[in-house]
């Protein structure tokens, strides 16, 4: 529950492609949505936001994940929100972080999901975030994900 210390999970992929990272994020967002969780996907830049938005519509033949871009000062109705800078007015159940830094709104979530692929730069920023969470007194968990397995 928001207000308590969030659970932080790192999903570590072997694949170095950004596409694998975004597909894994889609599967995790869909799983959270199907569990009736309110989700915020935090992106660093408009390009990642756009790519993730498009992929969320197309990643699975039978998938439907209602989502919308979070706009500051407006009430958002969709259970999945996408943002690069706007912070939700209300707590969320899950933040899926696709940015290289800890989201500034991390304290609004009960759970934070980090997805790290094999790209050297993204892997290093993931290590930095892992340390940052530990410095905040959190105990992040790591899960190694093979290319052919679905995250839990």
Fold of 7-145: Rossmann fold (3.40.50)
Task: Output the pTM of the full model.
Answer: 0.91
Over residues 72-131, the pLDDT tens digits come to: 877 788 999 999 999 998 899 999 999 999 999 999 999 999 999 999 999 999 999 999
- Domain residue ranges in the chain: 7-145
Helix (H) or strand (E) holding 19, with range, is helix 18-34
CA distances from 30 to 25, 73, 108, 119 (A): 8, 26, 20, 24
More confident residue, 151 or 112: 112
Indicate the length of the chain as a whole number: 152
120 close to 105: Cβ distance less than 8 angstroms? no
């Amino acid at each position: 529950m928001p207000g308590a210390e969030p659970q932080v999970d790192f999903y570590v992929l072997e694949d170095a492609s950004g596409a694998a990272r975004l597909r894994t994020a889609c599967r995790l967002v869909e799983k959270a949505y199907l569990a009736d969780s309110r989700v915020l996907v935090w992106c660093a830049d408009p390009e990642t936001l756009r790519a993730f938005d498009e992929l969320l519509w197309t990643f699975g033949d039978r998938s439907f994940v209602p989502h919308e871009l979070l706009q500051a000062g407006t009430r958002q109705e969709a259970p999945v929100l996408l943002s690069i800078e706007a912070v939700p007015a209300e707590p969320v159940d899950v933040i899926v972080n696709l940015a290289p830094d800890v989201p500034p709104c991390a304290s609004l979530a009960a759970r934070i999901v980090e997805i790290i692929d094999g790209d050297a730069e993204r892997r290093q920023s993931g290590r930095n975030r892992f340390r940052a969470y530990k410095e905040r007194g959190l105990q992040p968990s790591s899960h190694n994900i093979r290319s052919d397995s679905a995250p839990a």
